[in-house]
Structure 1
């Protein structure tokens, strides 16, 4: 399906590296932010930040209003703050990975055996795809003996490229702030979350990070899986456990 004129205009606004970094900062903050905060995040003047922010408002990427930022009390006029417009464009930011999910499900259908269900086949294929990715990363980086924290660091670098938006919430915990398969995960959460977990479990095994576990931990507006060092795991879910959203 082609993009309409509005979508093209919106994407063009993000073609500039500075604007894209500004947009990503605002979206990742998950709260309204001021011009000053955006300017500081990318190292530019408040005036230049205001120019780019208002351009992104004009094309429908951001919305603006006046309020006091969270935790800040100011006397006088409330500052102008910005936040993303929900579902502003059909081309998602960050990039979705529907193709990867489609590959897993297609291969599962083609290789399903009589001894397994279609769901079991999907989990098997997802685990193998993740294992292949982790193995390739291990060969490329040659990390040697992997402790839990080193495994989480390598995982964060790779999963950033896949749109998971990893966040090191603690030394032994890597949270994934974005689901690359959303909104499909919202339509079939048990299947998609199980496939996600199997893929990430396979990745960790292929990477050689056996002291790290992919655990189902559903949170609103985030990936249903997080990666934990064994010391941080309490009864980790097995791949394929149902995900309640």
Structure 2
């Protein structure tokens, strides 16, 4: 019997991009990010010929999705009693939003590789050894910060885990393009990342090993010897 093991977890990046699918909201977003200074509700409404209430609704929705930041400023330039209430203004958020299907985590890989190169250059330790250590440390941090079942954690980070008897296979490689071009380096990094994850969540019943298969991640989590 088919069992759906997926969980209805709200992906904030997917939700943010979906919010921009509404035409008026997208026009407001484009307006705000093109301005050199924060924009008020009145300014946005006037620029696009919208009712102030409509502009406010969509601007607040964009802020709720972390696509815009909200700041408060007194436009009069005065302060103290009689200066009036600060205006609610909107500006581009510093948050970066990206969605890829299947899930990819190239930023994570890039950060690990950059750290390894820098530390190797500073200490003389072989870069591959540093990369493996950094990957294991990061995996442990992820496991400790997300005290949950390892299966759930792997789902959250895009590995698409599948149970195969007592083992867990990873149907998706979040570093796919890098692994295709630099297999030994990236698969070794991923192996140590998974070892750290298992340690971080306290999963002593599984061990990570290299077991590459076509169309899957190179790492497999199998019962510990």
Asked if 1:161 corresponds to 2:169, the answer is no
Deviation at 1:114, TM superposition (A): 3.6
2:142–2:200 contact (8 Å) kept in structure 1: yes
Rg larger for = 2
Aligned Cα root-mean-square deviation (Å)? 2.1
- How far the C-alpha of 1:193 sits from its partner, in A, is 0.3
2:104 to 91, 96, 99: 96
Q: TM (normalized to structure 2)?
A: 0.54
- Separation in 1, partners of 2:204, 2:154: 17
* Aligned-partner Cα distance in 2 for 1:230–1:204: 11
Deviations along 1:41-97, one digit per CA (max 9) or x if unpaired, are xxxxxxxxxxxxxxxxxxxxxxxxxxxxxxxxxxxxxxxxxxxxxxxxxx6312200
1:115 is displaced (CA, Å) by 5.2
1:83-122 correspondence to structure 2 within 5 Å: 92-112=100-120, 114=123, 116-122=125-131
2:111 counterpart SS class: helix
Q: Cα distance, 1:107 vs. partner?
A: 1.4
Give 2:142's match in structure 1, choosing from 133, 138, 145: 133
**Take 2:180 and 2:217, find their aligned partners in 1: how far apart are those partners?**
11
Pairwise CA distance, 1:206 = 1.2
Deviation readout 1:124-143 (Å, 9 max, x if unpaired): 100000011111123xx5xx
Query: What is the TM-score when the length of structure 1 is the normalising length?
Result: 0.50
Partner of 1:147: none
Give the match's secondary structure for 1:157: helix
Deviations 1:196-243 (A, max 9, x none): 000000110111112310010000011000111215xxxxxxxxxxxx
Paired residues of 2:150 and 2:203 also in contact (CA < 8 A): no
Counterparts in 2 of 1:3-152, with a 5 A limit? Answer: 92-112=100-120, 114=123, 116-138=125-147, 141=148
**Residues 144 and 200, structure 2, Cα contact 8 Å, conserved in 1:** yes
Q: Where does residue 215 of structure 2 map in the other structure? A: 221
Residue of structure 1 equivalent to 2:171 = 177
* 2:190 maps to 1:196: yes
Following the alignment from structure 2 to structure 1, what is the Cα–Cα distance between the partners of residues 132 and 224?
Answer: 22
Distance 1:92 1:221 in 2: 17
Which whole-Å CA distance do the structure 1 matches of 2:124 and 2:136 have between them?
A: 18
